[in-house]
Amino acid sequence: MTYIAKPRFHHPSLIENKLGFTRRDYEGKVSTLCAGCGHDSISAAIVQACFELDIEPHRLAKLSGIGCSSKTPDYFLGASHGFNTVHGRMPSVLTGANLANRDLIYLGVSGDGDSASIGLGQFAHSIRRGVSMAYIVENNGVYGLTKGQFSATADKNSKSKKGVVNHDSAIDMVSLALQLGATFVGRSFSGDKAQLVPLIKAAIRHKGAAFIDCISPCIAFNNHAGSTKSFDWVREHNEAVNHLDFMVGRAPITAQYAPGETVSVEQHDGTVLTLRKVAADYDPTDRAKAMGFLMERQAAGEVVTGLLYIDPEAEDLHDALDTVATPLNQLGGGDLTPGSAALAKINAALR
């Protein structure tokens, strides 16, 4: 955790978004992570995504568990309320927060230890409930804060920095999320900002459970030969299925793609996702095929990235519970307390 605030002044030519905020207004405190940590790149991508989406910083709540990744919410969006909860339990706290106020944006930041080991159950259940959130796992395959133990996402037969070979099968969170019914599933790499920023933007604007597995090499404990979560390994094996342009509203697509190279997906709220295809036949709206494709490419040793699945018609937990439009935390006594007359009737029925 840091206590060092960044200086507020900035270059006068820094561009502003529609709300008059500069990118600096979306930053947080100075990171205390190791120099070169992939997580800092993800924080920067979150800052960029929120800036580009013209989000009012205070209308977003950022929640995390425990671990290196879970410290990062202190390093972005300093004007947002944040909650560093307990290990592996961010999903339940986020679920409760979301139930209390459906009008805020919820960003859950977690790691592979936090979400694939101790918190696997809560990860699974928050996804299957369709809690509206952007859930980012900063996946480095290792426990950094406790100095280099394997996490549950470490690939079988990969090597730790000390030379130990991992004999356990890896948990693939993307496959899990797909199986559990996530309505938005992506994977990216902290070293590929061009891919990551639009993916985060789309996840934030997605209604329903949006999950991003972001491979984020641990510079201190998992960036060596024999690791499958190192910068070199991921760069060599990264297979992007598509590149995403995220548009708010029906703005015309300005990128110059040849016909047939792109596919557009329009969501409920009018946002349009334009995907430049890399894998020619990849259809990100077909869950079953996405799962098959992933299994196949994984067996071939590739790290598949991009927007892997989206259900543009997704519903969320509030739809399922059919809650009122007013956030529950804004309902007053008049809305909530039935009063003495109703109580008299209840009493009468109990005699």
Q: Interface residues with another protein (CB under 8 A)?
A: 1-3, 56-59, 61, 63, 73-74, 78-86, 89, 91-101, 103-104, 121-122, 124-125, 129, 317-318, 321-325, 328-329, 331-333, 335-340, 342-343, 346-347, 350-351
Handedness of CA 270, 123, 152, 45 (dihedral sign): positive
Shortest distance in whole angstroms from residue 128 CB to another protein: 9
User: In the beta sheet, which residues pair with residue 138?
Assistant: 111, 214
Shortest distance in whole angstroms from residue 106 CB to another protein: 10
Shortest distance in whole angstroms from residue 101 CB to another protein: 5
Three-state SS at 183: coil
Q: Which is nearer to another protein, 99 or 279 (CB)?
A: 99
249 torsion bin: left (phi>0), alpha (psi -120 to 50), beta (else):
left
Q: Which is nearer to another protein, 85 or 166 (CB)?
A: 85
Q: How far is CA 327 from CA 1, 97, 101, 102, 318, in A?
A: 32, 11, 5, 6, 10
Handedness of CA 238, 241, 247, 249 (dihedral sign): negative
Shortest distance in whole angstroms from residue 326 CB to another protein: 8
Shortest distance in whole angstroms from residue 24 CB to another protein: 13
User: In the beta sheet, which residues pair with residue 239?
Assistant: 304
Count CB atoms within 10 A of the CB of residue 102.
Answer: 18
Q: Which is nearer to another protein, 155 or 316 (CB)?
A: 316
Q: Which is nearer to another protein, 104 or 247 (CB)?
A: 104
Shortest distance in whole angstroms from residue 94 CB to another protein: 6
Q: Which is nearer to another protein, 46 or 199 (CB)?
A: 46
Are 85 and 93 spatial neighbours (Cβ–Cβ below 8 Å)? yes
Q: Residue 266: enclosing H or E segment and its boundaries?
A: strand 262-266
Shortest distance in whole angstroms from residue 79 CB to another protein: 5
Q: Which is nearer to another protein, 24 or 276 (CB)?
A: 24
* Number of alpha carbons in the 13 Å side-chain half-sphere of residue 171: 27
CA–CA separation, 72 vs 296, rounded Å?
33
CA–CA separation, 23 vs 43, rounded Å?
12
Shortest distance in whole angstroms from residue 237 CB to another protein: 34
Q: Which is nearer to another protein, 288 or 349 (CB)?
A: 349
Angle at 96 between CA 93 and CA 101, to 5 degrees: 125
Shortest distance in whole angstroms from residue 339 CB to another protein: 5
Q: How far is CA 324 from CA 333, 334, 339, in A?
A: 15, 15, 20
Q: Which is nearer to another protein, 11 or 351 (CB)?
A: 351
CA–CA separation, 45 vs 110, rounded Å?
15
Q: Which is nearer to another protein, 281 or 322 (CB)?
A: 322
CA–CA separation, 287 vs 157, rounded Å?
29
CA–CA separation, 128 vs 176, rounded Å?
10
